[in-house]
Amino acid sequence: MTRKKQPTVISLFAGVGGMDLGFIEAGFKVVWANDFEKDCAKTYQRNIGDHIVVGDIRDIKSKDLPKNPDVVIGGFPCQGFSINNINRTMKDERNHLYKEMLRIIKDTKPKYFVAENVKGLLSMEKGKVIELILNDFRNIGYEVDYKLLTAADYGVPQMRQRVFIVGNRINKKIEFPEQTHFPKTEKSPQMDLEFPINHNMQFHIPAKDAIKHLAKVPISYKPIKRNKKIIHNHIAATNVLDTFWGRKYPVSQFDICDYLKEHRNKSEWSTQKIDEHFGYRHTAGHWFRKDNNSGSIPNPSDWWELKKLLKFNKKYDKQVTTMVEKKITFEQSLRISNWDTPSDTITATGSEIHPNKERRISVREGAILQSFPDEFVFEGALNSMYRQVGNAVPPLLAKKVAEMIFVFV
């Protein structure tokens, strides 16, 4: 059956358009987009179109949006939900921005919506937040479900995990894409009973296969021509150190965490009060947590000050405060911890060290690990481009999700 029209999309919190690009490649037409960041909008305009509006979503009136969109998509801000943010409670105003997406969906009544967020959303407030969000969407007439997807399972050379929340109001069963790529083990997937027998299955794509061709290409602020191709944004930070100050004696962060929590609970000091005392924002909270390896051990000066507050004994003083200069090893400094597997998550806060140990990975290499096409060009200063890449939804992963919806709209 021939389609009468191309299904349309409104994109909220669009960033540089990673999710938009995936939907476009799946056959959709993005007719309107919004983001708060000017550099993101410049990148979006250069690569996708001029239909992006720069501004605070809270100032966007539903009546000014295109009528009757088939789908509304958006990766609402994740800082308040992330497991890297100890203060991830519903008091963080960024956590309420999803309600702006809820408002627009309620007013525009798309057949489908797709919302994307960080893994930490699932554990926030012991699972209460995700249920609150799901119920909010159900209350405006949508059947809704969610799934944690790993980008590497769909051909992205990165172990990025993100929650996709999908809803529809047309009484269709919500389905998520089937895994197409699997970890490489000693046995082939066809011989492993945990895997379905499918001759189209492929192995995860390792980082080296994705970006090794750029390893020896000099970084440059200008486009580079190599093998009849133009390489854009192959620029990188070069602040790579050889040594660092580390602890002389082995110490378990889990043990330190339990020890500090025990003494905190006996004291009159809450985590928030400790943060305020030190003048930190959310840092002290990591001393009292160990989920997802996101905890940390206080530095020596903070340890001695914390000892005054919580009045603990000298049990761990030596292990925590005795520091020596150490040589940085490849594994310590690198988030792409194994060249032979998909990279770890590309972050927005700092670029990872390249396996050559001479520089950080370039903006282009990060974009490749996010599955952006080579011709996609980022705008802005270096740190801004790193942030744009790290905050984006991998287009290939978005495309897989979009394809599950395309047949129903």
Q: Map out the domains of the chain as residue ranges.
A: 8-182+390-406, 243-327
The per-residue pLDDT for range 56-113, each reduced to its tens digit, is 999 999 999 999 999 999 998 755 554 444 444 555 555 568 889 999 999 999 999 9
Residue 257 annotated in active site: no
Decide which of 3.40.50.300, 3.40.462.20, 3.40.50.150, 3.40.50.720 is the CATH code for 8-182+390-406. Answer: 3.40.50.150
Strands 229-231 and 224-226, bridge-based pairing: antiparallel
Using pLDDT thresholds of 50, 70 and 90, give the confidence band for residue 210. Answer: very high
Q: Is the dihedral of CA 345, 207, 25, 189 positive or negative?
A: negative
Which DSSP string do the residues of 337-366 spell out, in sequence order? --TTS-B-PPPSS-PPBPTTSSSBPPHHHH
DSSP state of 332: H
Closest to 27 in 3D by CA, of 384, 399, 328, 365: 399
3-state helix, strand, coil in the chain (%, to 5): 35, 15, 45
The per-residue pLDDT for range 270-327, each reduced to its tens digit, is 888 888 888 765 567 778 876 545 578 898 988 999 999 999 999 999 999 999 987 7
As a whole number of angstroms, the distance between CA 337 and CA 19 comes to: 27
Q: Which residues in 353-380 are b (16+ Cβ under 10 Å) and which e?
A: bbbeeebbbbbbbbbbbbbbeeebbbbb
176 contact partners, CB below 8 Å, separation of at least 6? 147, 149, 164, 166, 401, 404
The per-residue pLDDT for range 71-84, each reduced to its tens digit, is 999 998 755 554 44
How many other C-beta atoms lie within 10 A of the C-beta of residue 287? 24
The per-residue pLDDT for range 12-27, each reduced to its tens digit, is 999 999 999 999 999 9
Per CATH, the number for 243-327 is 1.10.260
Which entry of 33, 78, 121, 361 is annotated as an active-site residue?
78
Contact between 30 and 49 (Cβ < 8 Å): yes
Give the residue-averaged pLDDT of 105-130.
Answer: 90
Contact between 146 and 130 (Cβ < 8 Å): yes
As a whole number of angstroms, the distance between CA 392 and CA 18 comes to: 5
- Whether the pLDDT of residue 228 is over 80: the answer is yes
**pTM, to two decimals:** 0.76
Give pLDDT, residue 339.
83
- Whether the pLDDT of residue 49 is over 80: the answer is yes
As a whole number of angstroms, the distance between CA 263 and CA 266 comes to: 5
Q: What percent of the chain has pLDDT over 90?
A: 62
As a whole number of angstroms, the distance between CA 377 and CA 273 comes to: 45
Asked, colleague to colleague, whether 8-182+390-406 and 243-327 share their fold, the answer is no
As a whole number of angstroms, the distance between CA 62 and CA 306 comes to: 50
